[in-house]
Amino acid sequence: MANIFPRWANLLPLKIAVCLGAVGAGLVAGFTYYGTPKAQRVGYQPTQPIPYDHNLHVNQLGMDCRYCHSFTEHSSHANVPTANTCWNCHQHVQKGSPKLAALRDAMAVDENHLPKKDVDGNPVEGKPIQWVRIHKSPDYVYFNHSAHLNRGISCQSCHGDVHKMEKVYQAKSHSMGWCLECHRAPEKHVRPLEEVFNLDYDAEKYLKKNDVRDAKDKRITDPEDFGKFLVAHWGIRPKESCSTCHR
C-alpha cells in the first residue's frame, strides 16, 4: 500500500507542536510583560483640556506644589485645583489665550473676561474643567497623601519629576509590588520634612550643606545611612498588612 503521507510529513506534527508552543509561550510572555501596570500605565500621557505646563509653573515661576494641590498635607486626597485657584492669576495673566478656553468656560466668561450670556441675555452657568485622570488607584485601595507627606516621603517618590514635565505622564507603575518595595525599605525614599516638596532634592548635597548627626553624634555623609537614620529617628515602620491599604 502506497504511503498516503509523503516523507517530509513525518516531522510535521512535531513542527506544529513546536510552533504552537512558541506562539503560546510568546503570548504568555507578552501578557506577563504588557499586561502589568508597568507596561500598561507607565507613560500614560493623555491630552488635557488645558495644556498645563508644570515645568513652566514650578521652575520658571517658582510655585510650590501646595499652591494648587492645597490640601495634600491634610487630606487623603491630593486635590486638583478648583477653577478659581487658576483664575487668581489667570484673570490677569494670558488673558484671552486660546489655551485657557476651558478655564474661561468654567468661570463663565468670554475672551474679554466679560460674563457670558446666552442668546436671551441670561447669565450662563460655568462648566467645571474635566481633567483627565492619570494616576488612578483601584477602588479598593485607600492611599492617603497626608500620611506619606507628613512622614518625609516626597511627591517625587510616586509621581516622578513632575516639576520637569511639560505634559504630565505617569512615571511609576503604582502596582502593589511597587508600593510594597517602599514599605519594606522606606529608607530609600524618606527625606527631611523640609525637602518633601523640593523636587530637586539631592541627599548628598543636603548632607554636605547640613550637619546631621546620628545617635553616636557622628556626622552622616552617606545618603543610605541618612535614610536609615531618619527611619529610626522618626520611628517609621510602614505596615505590610492588607488593611493598611484595603478596607
Partner 1 sequence: MKRVLNHPQPPKEGDAVTTWRSVGEKEGSQSFRNDLDREFPNGDTLNEEEQELSRRSFTKLMGASSALAGLTLASCRRPESYIVPYKTAPEWVIPGKPLFYASTMPRVGGAVPLLVTTVEGRPRKLEPATDHPDASGTDALVQASILDLYSPSRSQDILKDGKVSDQAALLEGLKSLDLSKTALVFGSDDSPTRNRLAKELAGKGATLVSYEALTGEGLSAGVSTVVDFSKASRILSLDADFLGADPIGNSREFSKGRMGGDSEYNAEIVADKMSRLYQVETQFSITGGMADHRLRVAPSRVAMVAAEIASALGASVPASGLDDDDKAALFPGGSAAEFDQWVSECAKDLKEAASKTLVIVGSRQPKAVHQIAVAINAVLKSQAVRTVSTDLGQYGTMADLGAKVASGAVENIVFLTPSDPVYDFDGFEALAEKAKAIVHLGIRTNFTAWAANWHVPARHFLESWGDARSASGVLSLIQPMIFMPYEAVSELELLVVLNGGDFAQGDFSPAMGEVKKTFAALSGKAGDVAWREGLKNGFAADTAYADVAAPAGPIEVPKSTAPGTDNIEVVFSTDASVLDGRFIDNAWLQEAPDPVTKLTWDNAAQVSPLTAKALGIYDQVIALEPKGKFAFSDPFKRAAEAHIGEGEHAKAPFITVSIGDREITVPVLIAFGHADFAITIPLGYGQASDDGRKSAIALDADQPVVGHVGLNSGFNAYPLRSSDTPYFATGAKIGLTGNSYKVALTQEHNSMYGRALAREVSTNSLEGKGDFKEQVKEVKKQGLDAHAPVNISLYDPKGGIWSKDDAKKKSHISDDVHQWGMAIDLNTCTGCNACLVACQAENNIPIVGKDQVAMGREMHWIRMDRYFSAMETEVHGGHSSDTPTPDWVQQNPEMVPQPVACVQCEMAPCETVCPVNATVHTEEGLNSMAYNRCIGTRYCANNCPYKARRFNFFDYNKRNPLIKGNLYKGPLGKKKVGEAPHLQHNPNVTVRMRGVMEKCTYCVQRLEGAKIKQKQQQKQKTLAAGLPSTAVGVDRAVDLRVPTNSVKVACQEACPTAAISFGNLLDRESKIVKAKGNQLDSIARMFDSEEEWNNFKVEGSGRNYDLLNYVNTRPRTSYLARVKNPNPKMPDSAFLGQATINTH
Chain residues that interact with partner 1, rule: CB under 8 A:
40-41, 44, 46, 71, 73-77, 79-85, 106-107, 126, 128-133, 136, 138-140, 142, 144, 146-147, 150-152, 192-194, 210, 212, 230, 233-235, 237, 239, 241-244, 246-247
CB of 18 to partner 1, least distance (A): 26
- 198/64 Cα distance (integer angstroms): 8
CB of 237 to partner 1, least distance (A): 8
C-beta closer to partner 1: residue 39 or 59:
39
CB of 79 to partner 1, least distance (A): 5
Phi, psi angles (nearest 5°) of residue 42: -60, 130
CB of 2 to partner 1, least distance (A): 43
- 63/81 Cα distance (integer angstroms): 14
- 72/7 Cα distance (integer angstroms): 73
C-beta closer to partner 1: residue 40 or 94:
40
- 134/57 Cα distance (integer angstroms): 19
Q: How far is CA 167 from the centre of its chain?
A: 12
CB of 129 to partner 1, least distance (A): 7
Residue 19: beta bridge partners? none
H/E element holding 31? Answer: helix 12-34
C-beta closer to partner 1: residue 17 or 194:
194
List Cα–Cα distances, 146 to 16, 69, 143, 189, 231, in angstroms. Answer: 57, 12, 9, 16, 17
CB of 36 to partner 1, least distance (A): 13
The amino acid sitting at 68 is C
C-beta closer to partner 1: residue 25 or 141:
141
C-beta closer to partner 1: residue 67 or 131:
131
Q: How far is CA 189 from the centre of its chain?
A: 15
Closest CA to 81 of 102, 66, 101: 66
C-beta closer to partner 1: residue 114 or 215:
215
- 43/169 Cα distance (integer angstroms): 5
- State the residue for C-alpha cell 510616586: 158
C-beta closer to partner 1: residue 59 or 244:
244
Q: How is residue 114 written as a grid cell?
A: 466679560
CB of 127 to partner 1, least distance (A): 8
